Chain A
């Protein structure tokens, strides 16, 4: 093997390793259904009077 061929093989192998290692980090995970987050990030209050008609449209 000539020195030039050896460098080519080395570069190719290196590129394959770099792509292979970085692939899982680049993959995007896809979801339709989300998983429930237990703690609400806002403030939590007790249930109010539900018998009143809603003030919101709809």
Chain B
């Protein structure tokens, strides 16, 4: 008997003993099974800034985990060795939700990140762990491409404190040709997350010749402003040649600065540059008085002048989770 997985917009119809497009949800005797529940291919303590997440508990450590698998197949994937791996060819260690929460507590991490691959394909583990972590006073962060159906997304968001969502482009063509996905569900996931009160940050990997045209950047920025609000942090990330895109050059600092300038012209309040060293592009400035609020160098916080989530000079409330 076939089964249909209704977790993501791909709605895979899966034959007996086969997996869906994500490789980790399989049909065994007419029942949908998750192969990777609790089997982590990576667990590390990272600075929260690495996600990237700049408006969420700055300077803290975040316990970051992943299983193999992804429902997108981006030709430029930076982590393709694990995101595009088959479970049967991978190495993992078993860490059930209660053990993961205990580990995060033991290491004094105030938050957990479900990251590196796609946390939505190991949905059941993400959900169960997030619920337990919330009960234990640990925050939950998703680093995701946001390719999920609305009903399971809303159910999961009840336990999520922040997301960094990678909005990969602003055209259906880009999503279809580069990522094997579609744009609309991702936009919907962003809007739903914001409306649920989750702290939302958006990242966009700028790939030379593919999505770096100023008019495309402007369209993306306008969409963010109109649908998520001008306070939503936006990170323009530099592309590094990987996986099936080895022939394109890395993104130049100039291109990233142009993107940042466009976003600021359009009125976005917090625009950052990542993967490339940029002095101004990594700091947080007050949108009211323009004074420096958080100074960063790489993933290190050099100074944080925020007082109770407000600018110490003009008193403006700064979007984010600060304590």
Q: State whether B92 touches A34 (Cβ < 8 A).
A: no
Which of B34, B51, B91, B103 sits near A45, CB closer than 8 Å? B91
Interface-side segment among A2-10, A13-21, A48-56? A48-56
B63 at the binding interface (Cβ < 8 Å): yes
Q: State whether B1 touches A27 (Cβ < 8 A).
A: yes
Query: Of all chain A residues, which has the CB nearest B64?
Result: A54
Which of B1, B35, B107, B116 sits near A56, CB closer than 8 Å? B116
Q: State whether A42 touches B116 (Cβ < 8 A).
A: no
Q: State whether B2 touches A28 (Cβ < 8 A).
A: yes
Question: What's the minimum C-beta distance from B70 to chain A, rounded to whole angstroms?
Answer: 11
Q: Which chain A positions have C-beta within 8 A of B66?
A: 56
Query: Of all chain A residues, which has the CB nearest B144?
Result: A58
Q: State whether A57 touches B78 (Cβ < 8 A).
A: yes
Q: State whether A42 touches B89 (Cβ < 8 A).
A: yes
Question: What's the minimum C-beta distance from B71 to chain A, rounded to whole angstroms?
Answer: 13
Q: Which chain A positions have C-beta within 8 A of B45?
A: 50-53
Question: What's the minimum C-beta distance from A31 to chain B, rounded to whole angstroms?
Answer: 4
Bound-state CA distance A26–B93 (Å) is 38
- A to B CB contacts below 8 Å, 14 in the list: A29-B32, A33-B152, A34-B7, A34-B34, A36-B37, A36-B38, A40-B36, A42-B87, A45-B91, A48-B93, A51-B107, A56-B78, A57-B78, A58-B78
Q: Which B residues lie at the A interface, using CB under 8 A?
A: 1-7, 13, 25-26, 28, 30-39, 42-47, 50-51, 63-64, 66, 68, 78-79, 82, 86-95, 103, 107, 113, 115-116, 123-124, 143, 149, 151-152, 164
Q: Which A residues lie at the B interface, using CB under 8 A?
A: 25, 27-37, 40-48, 50-58
